[in-house]
Amino acid sequence: MKILHTSDWHLGRTLYGRKRYEEFRCFLDWLTDTIEQEQVDILLVAGDIFDTSIPPNYAQELYYRFLHKVSATHCQHVVIIAGNHDSPSFLTAPSALLRVLNVYVVGSAMEDPRDEVIVLRDKADQPLAIVCAVPYLREKDIRSVESGESMEEKGIRLVEGLKAHYEQVCDYAQQQQQELYSQGVGTIPIVAMGHLFAAGGKTLHEDGVRELYVGSLAYIGQDMFPECIDYLALGHLHIPQCVGDNNHFSYSGSPLPMSFGEAGQDKQVIIADFEKGSVDIREKNIPRFQQLKQLSGNLDDIHSEIEALKQQAESVWLEIIYTGKDIVPDLWAQVEDMLADSKLEVLRIKNEAPYKGVVVPEPGEGETLDDMDEYDVFKFCLQAHEIPEDSQDELMQSYKEIIHSLHEEDPNAL
């Protein structure tokens, strides 16, 4: 029995205003072909299917087209959980229809954790795997708010809530496993899913990985997951990695680079092959469907790198970071001249030179709203209004809680 684990598709995401429809389409076509070639029995998608809670029409079209195509492959089941970017109600709305295609969707924590346990069977009605489909757990799902609690106390309760939820779900999965064993079926593997930030997880600047819980204390280690789990398919972090030293607990990472900082990464899916009580874990690299390149240096450095790229005669999207000492007021124009008669296209130029050593840069050529997230903008406002430094941390913390509460809301819910 083979399982393919993927996550963090972020369908609908743009890169500095550029739509990436063709990249997403190519990835999903490649994934469909891989599922058939590898004879995958179960596909697990561990959250953040869409980039926003109200995805554009073209992103929805890609999603449903893919699920329809997968239903005609060797794959017998698809299990999808919601991530923190997803709208639970949007994902689960077509659940009854998708079940006809053997697609199971869990959008939010169930009132009864046992409803997150799915026993998947083959066409002969023989059990293949027991899947603990735990979606992204919102704060309201795993802890009660207490007045006067500190950030540390809040973080401890979040970790306790996460751990307790997995224990409840996995306890029921073990009961199902024992029941099947008593029927003479044999030991069926328990596969868990999750969308969370494990302790020690690696991220990159500008990769768009959102802080899940205010205070960053709710990171859980591999020892906090029940021992009965044979494989843990995680989503949320875009860099492929294991939890601790356990390669049975893994993040598949995002299939496309979500920022220029990820341009050099090898993207992958994970295949878990269960046979005779053991599991073989291996990674399969995803092709790069659109080349991204980050160039940094003075004008001569940038010109040399552009000339080298032009020799390759490939389509490449560029992010250029100018770090030269001289102020170049017509930087965009000079770069555009360098790109003439090539397949290279610049999506972003960051001119760092004029602002080195400046505490509060004014938005301009060196820094625009595209370069800033909501926290950068708020920090800029605090400094621009000369708010005392001893008040800024407290105000920023309050602001983070407000933003977090907005992200936790489901705009599609009744």
Backbone φ/ψ region at 97: left (φ over 0), alpha (ψ -120 to 50), beta: alpha
d(C-alpha 141, C-alpha 162), whole Å: 9
d(C-alpha 342, C-alpha 166), whole Å: 53
Provide the 3-class DSSP secondary structure of residue 271: strand
Low-confidence spans in the chain with pLDDT less than 50:
214, 356-366
d(C-alpha 236, C-alpha 212), whole Å: 9
Beta bridge partners of 119: 130
Q: Give me the torsion for CA of 388, 390, 391, 394, rounded to 10°.
A: 150
What pLDDT, on the 0 to 100 scale, is given for residue 366?
A: 43
What pLDDT, on the 0 to 100 scale, is given for residue 361?
A: 37
Provide the 3-class DSSP secondary structure of residue 203: coil
Q: Do the strands 127-133 and 190-195 form a parallel or antiparallel pair, or are they unpaired? A: parallel
Q: Do the strands 42-46 and 117-121 form a parallel or antiparallel pair, or are they unpaired? A: unpaired
- Half-sphere exposure of 17 toward its Cβ, with a 13 Å CA cutoff? 6
What pLDDT, on the 0 to 100 scale, is given for residue 214?
A: 47
What pLDDT, on the 0 to 100 scale, is given for residue 357?
A: 42
What pLDDT, on the 0 to 100 scale, is given for residue 6?
A: 98
Does residue 167 contact residue 116 with C-beta atoms inside 8 Å?
no
What pLDDT, on the 0 to 100 scale, is given for residue 190?
A: 97
Q: What angle do CA 143, 148, 151 make, to 5 degrees?
A: 65
Buried-exposed string 209-243: b where 16+ CB fall within 10 A, e elsewhere: bebbbbbeebbbebebbbeebbbbbbbbbbbbbbb
8-state DSSP, 76: -
Evaluated on CA atoms 228, 230, 235, 236, the torsion sign reads positive
Longest Cα separation, the chain: 77
The amino acid that residue 156 corresponds to is I
d(C-alpha 105, C-alpha 108), whole Å: 9
The amino acid that residue 134 corresponds to is V
What pLDDT, on the 0 to 100 scale, is given for residue 304?
A: 92
Q: Do the strands 18-19 and 14-15 form a parallel or antiparallel pair, or are they unpaired? A: antiparallel
What pLDDT, on the 0 to 100 scale, is given for residue 373?
A: 61
> Which tokens belong to 203?
């991220």
Evaluated on CA atoms 108, 66, 79, 266, the torsion sign reads negative
- Half-sphere exposure of 99 toward its Cβ, with a 13 Å CA cutoff? 7
d(C-alpha 302, C-alpha 117), whole Å: 54
Q: Would you mind telling me the total number of residues written for the chain in this entry?
A: 414
Helical spans, DSSP H, in 17-87? 21-37, 57-70
> Which tokens belong to 395?
């105000």
> Which tokens belong to 120?
């998947």
H or E element in which residue 173 lies: helix 151-182
Helix 299-312 crosses helix 331-338 at what angle (to 10 degrees)?
Answer: 30
Write the pLDDT tens digit of every residue in 281-328: 999 999 999 999 999 998 999 999 999 999 888 899 999 998 888 887
> Which tokens belong to 233?
């398919």
d(C-alpha 177, C-alpha 186), whole Å: 9
8-state DSSP, 19: E
Helix and strand numbers (H, E) in the chain are 10, 17
* CA-based nearest residue to 262, from 226, 238, 229, 290: 238
